[in-house]
Amino acid sequence: MNLVNNISVRERLLAAILRFADELSDDSSRANYAALNSEIIKKASLIYHLYSASLHTVSLHKNEISNTYEIVLAYEFDTKTACLKLDKEGYEQYLIDEIYNRTFKMDRERRYCVRHLRPYIRLERIKVSISITSSKDEFIYYPITYTLEENGYPAEIYKTIKDVDKKILSGEEIVCKLQEKGGL
């Protein structure tokens, strides 16, 4: 703790807040919709704009009984977008796999930052819901939900979505399923 203009500054707390807030800031307000609709976004940037466009809700929920908090993230995109292989730093990746990877990174940041936040807020988990809507019928959708949290003895950090829940499909598996069903 340092003094700045005779005010105590908790540097690690401030750094933890800023670091975790940065993880949460890539929501739909960051996407360039005009450029997306005009299809003028460069190939190398497209995955980042689609990620932001798909993240429509970032909220903090409090459990009044346990006095703990959770981050709730809600994503939505269509089956046409789900089937796109997007450039990601020299390799191709589906948007759903980008979402999985980004939420895993967000959980690593939560685990790191929570040690400095705990006296002020108990941020215990990240709940993720993803809705892939049919490009043919918006009332048909494929939901995916998972929760990232620590339970019991510290486990190895998630490497793939199968580490979270064996039933959740990877991007490749989702595309195969969509192709079998004719696009949901």
Q: Which amino acid would we find at residue 115?
A: R
What DSSP character marks residue 77?
E
The pLDDT, as a whole number, for residue 178 is: 81
What's the pLDDT tens digit per position in 97-106?
999 999 999 9
3: pLDDT strictly greater than 90: no
DSSP string, 90-126: TEEE-HHHHHHHHHHHHHHHHHHHHHHHTTT--EEEE
pLDDT tens digits for range 106-139:
999 998 888 888 888 899 999 999 999 998 887 8
pLDDT over 70 (residue 146): yes
Rounded to whole angstroms, the Cα distance separating 126 from 114 reads 12
Residues 83, 178 contacting (CB under 8 angstroms): yes
Cα distances from 108 to residues 33, 43, 143, 174, 179, in angstroms, run 30, 28, 24, 25, 34
Instruction: Give 17's contacts (C-beta < 8 A, 6+ positions apart).
Output: 113, 117
Domain-wise residue ranges, the chain = 2-181
Question: Residues 131, 141: contact at Cβ < 8 Å?
Answer: yes
Amino acid letter, 125: R
pLDDT digits (tens, 9 = 90+) for 71-84: 999 999 999 999 99
How far apart are the C-alpha atoms of 99 and 52, rounded to whole Å?
10
